[in-house]
Amino acid sequence: MKKYWLAAAGVVAAVAVAAPSAVGAPTETSTASTAAAASPGSPDSTASPAAGTAVRAEPAKVTPAKAAAPAAKPVRTVRPGQRVDAGGGFTVWLTRDGKHWAGPDGYENFRSVVDGNIDRSEPGVSHQSEGDATGVFHSGLYYGTCKAGRVELSDDEGHKTVATLIALPGRPDWGVWYAHTGPADGNGGSGLGVTLYDRAGRPLAELPGFDFPAGRG
């Protein structure tokens, strides 16, 4: 019998930080000596290299490139109530009042965006997860911004998973993200941190990973 876990977390205040500097292309510079032939018979004339002699160049100077951030996936616009195949037997859909999702066993869940449990006056993100030995399905809300560009999950070793984002027409100040990861330990995947970024790659809100008792809440 499969075991499921569900983790839900509150909002962590939005974090405004400077955007990472752009990565420049590696540059190479080199110099080469050239010799001009002096006029024959001139007292100031100097010997020039013999024809065909190779000119030695200095070693090229290369500036190492920084690792690029994971590519963001475009936010997908869906109709209210439109069922989205999220993979692994999971289905997600949005209505005006919040996020709905169902697992392979048909069990349905709901998270409201209008019942006062989230503060949409500032950027935030939530996280729910459930799975078994074959993998974990993660999903949640992002809210408090109309400029969401990317949601990432990350573990303690720095491995990152970029989520898929969906939103209703008109891009309101909230939407839903979802992603899949491999089999998790006893906390059902809630140990992964979640970060919301804007379209320019600046972090807006972060939800650290935490241990959560196994079971469906």
> Rounded distance, CA 111 to CA 65, Å?
42
pLDDT tens for 114-151 read 999 999 999 999 999 998 888 999 999 999 999 999 99
Which contacts (CB < 8 Å, 24+ apart) does range 1-5 have? 2/105, 2/132, 3/132, 3/214, 4/103, 4/130, 4/131, 4/132, 4/188, 4/215, 4/216, 5/129, 5/130, 5/131, 5/136, 5/184, 5/187, 5/188, 5/189, 5/190, 5/212, 5/214, 5/215, 5/216
Please tell me the predicted confidence (pLDDT) of residue 66. Answer: 45
Please tell me the predicted confidence (pLDDT) of residue 193. Answer: 94
Tell which residue, 197, 215, 207, has the closest CA to residue 127.
Answer: 207
pTM over the 0.85 mark: no
**Mean pLDDT of all residues in 44-55:** 47
The residue with greater pLDDT, 66 or 146, is 146
Return mean pLDDT, the chain.
Answer: 74
**Mean pLDDT of all residues in 52-79:** 62
Please tell me the predicted confidence (pLDDT) of residue 74. Answer: 83
